[in-house]
Structure 1
Amino acid sequence: MNAPARSTTGVRAPGRAEITARTLRTDLWWRPPLLTTLGLAVFVVYATIRSFVRTAYWVDEYHYLTPFYSPCVSASCVPGSTHFGVWFGELPMWIPLAFLSLPFLLGFRLTCYYYRKAYYRSIWQSPTACAVAEPRAHYTGETRLPLILQNSHRYFFYVALVVSAINTYDAVLAFHGSTGGFGFGLGNVIITANVILLWAYTVSCHSCRHVTGGRLKHFSAHPVRYRLWTWVSRLNTRHMQLAWTTLGTLMLTDFYIMLVASGTISDLRFVN
């Protein structure tokens, strides 16, 4: 019987020490990738369900609109939630009401440099952890389909800027009182905090860092871009934390609006 082909990459590549065990590590190396997988799964399941149920996403009294339904520009949207008008007719149930933004936001997150690291290690196990053998014999990186599409991240970044601006507009409109005019409640705190953190996550992106200071040969000749680059670079060191924090604030914002819109709870009002 012929011996199985040996991997040509990773810890079992020719020239490396021949260790039959997957790893000699004795620590809980599997815990971080497991928690990462569970965390991403919770968000994907929650966001998918909420994006398609089409219920409790708009609070007409205070003009609260969940980010999972923004922008809402079809005739299927409930009255008042179409901040930018009605551009399309009724949509079938298999199309989310925020179909203009969700695919691009999904692409932005999937191609994000941090998320690549997260799901490469946790889901694709390439590799799961340092000194742990990969489960596959060959690895081509991001040189072939579908992973070569990861290079489109910079373009998703531009669209993410537009969506962040739309979310900001939604947050401003949400300062609406129950009797008209200016109003302020707990929902405004949650929505505004989410928007601020989304902006921080977006502009801390590596693509933003490249846009602000990439390809500059002399920073001294571009003082404004240099200042922007240094600011983005400092924020970039928190990109991982912001990536996870914004997943949490997106779910929290949607969940709170859902509770208020469904009448489960009342919004805590500070003004009007």
Structure 2
Amino acid sequence: MTATTSPAPGSRRARIAARTLRTDRWWTGPLLTALGLAAFVVYATARVFQQDHYWVAEHHYLTPFYSPCVSASCEPGSAVFGTLPWEFPWFLPYALVSLPFLLLFRFTCYYYRKAYYRSVWQAPTACAVREPHRSYSGETRLPLLGQNLHRYFFYAAVLISLLNTYDAAVSFAHGAEGGFGIGLGNLVLLANVVLLWCYTLSCHSCRHVMGGRLRSFGGRPVRYWLWTRVSRLNTRHMLFAWTTLATLTLTDLYVLLLSSGTIADPRLFN
């Protein structure tokens, strides 16, 4: 037998002479995806570095963009786990210990990879549409090789989701009279946390944790039950990916409006 070598990545990729063979509006999906992601990035970046209107002391509402607040300049009461001994300059976010991991978890997410590969990097933009790149190596080289770290960022995301859950839960103990209370802000924070858990637990890495490396679920009924539940969530991972971008924005915007005195928090029970 004659020894053969494997073809280089992308050497057998289909070539399309025309720019596209499509006659439909194939560009609508990638365009809307790019605009949606860009809108969130612009808003979130502006808010993270604004370093103001992130805390409502009266009802203990803390926007998730600033949780946990670890700068010495955090408003009193907002840093529930304490702060570092120095104030951050304007170019460092107050939630410095959590935001990098959240961003990396989202950036390396399987769905978001597909979204920005198609809409931004255009690899590929759509079926039967010519790519602007001459070669293709996928995620076999740096920097895209780092996408494989997603499974480890998942564990950090779980810890941060627990922190967001605590933020939402403790706010119920700060009613108008200082005791238990429920306002619209409590429901907003709670809804956001529930959806964040749906996004985190529907992650492909979570599904692998529950059932990966197993040849059989025989004798492991608990793991099988968990795997089936996570698998059901996994089918809606794209939905949760977009929904949580919206709820994060709306939650932060609601806290901003309350903190700035633009609106008042309707109280359902004090």
TM-score class normalised by the smaller sequence: over 0.9
Correspondence list, 1:101-250, <5 A: 101-175=98-172, 176-250=174-248
Cα deviations by residue, 1:208-258 (Å, 9 ceiling, x for unpaired): 000011111220111100100000001000000000000000000000000
Distance 2:12 2:267 in 1: 60
Shift of 1:8: 4.5
Shift of 1:174: 1.1
Question: Which residue of structure 1 lines up, in the alignment, with residue 82 of structure 2?
Answer: 85
Question: Contact 2:70 / 2:96 at 8 angstroms: preserved in 1?
Answer: no
Q: 2:14 aligns with which of 11, 16, 21?
A: 11
User: How much is the aligned-residue C-alpha RMSD, in angstroms?
Assistant: 1.1
The letter of the residue matching 1:64 is Y
The letter of the residue matching 1:256 is Y
Question: Contact 1:212 / 1:228 at 8 angstroms: preserved in 2?
Answer: yes
Q: Quick one: percent identity of the two aligned structures?
A: 67
Distance 1:228 1:102 in 2: 28
SS of match in other structure, 1:83: coil
The letter of the residue matching 2:93 is P
Question: Contact 1:121 / 1:129 at 8 angstroms: preserved in 2?
Answer: yes
Question: Contact 1:74 / 1:91 at 8 angstroms: preserved in 2?
Answer: yes
SS of match in other structure, 1:243: helix
The letter of the residue matching 2:188 is I
Cα deviations by residue, 1:93-145 (Å, 9 ceiling, x for unpaired): 11000011100000000000000000000000001000101111001100111
TM-score (norm 2): 0.94
Question: Which residue of structure 1 lines up, in the alignment, with residue 7 of structure 2?
Answer: none
Question: Which residue of structure 2 lines up, in the alignment, with residue 4 of structure 1?
Answer: none
Cα deviations by residue, 1:158-179 (Å, 9 ceiling, x for unpaired): 0000000000000011111122
SS of match in other structure, 2:218: helix
TM-score (norm 1): 0.94
Distance 1:71 1:199 in 2: 17
Between 1:82-91 and 1:182-191, the stretch displaced more is 82-91
Question: Is 1:30 aligned to 2:27, yes or no?
Answer: yes
Shift of 1:87: 2.8
Distance 2:209 2:11 in 1: 38
The 4+ residue runs of structure 1 with deviation greater than 3 A are: 7-11
The letter of the residue matching 2:137 is T
The letter of the residue matching 1:54 is Q
Between 1:201-210 and 1:177-186, the stretch displaced more is 177-186
Question: Contact 1:9 / 1:138 at 8 angstroms: preserved in 2?
Answer: no
The letter of the residue matching 2:14 is V
Question: Which residue of structure 2 lines up, in the alignment, with residue 3 of structure 1?
Answer: none
Question: Is 1:270 aligned to 2:268, yes or no?
Answer: yes
Shift of 1:24: 1.8
Question: Is 1:54 aligned to 2:51, yes or no?
Answer: yes
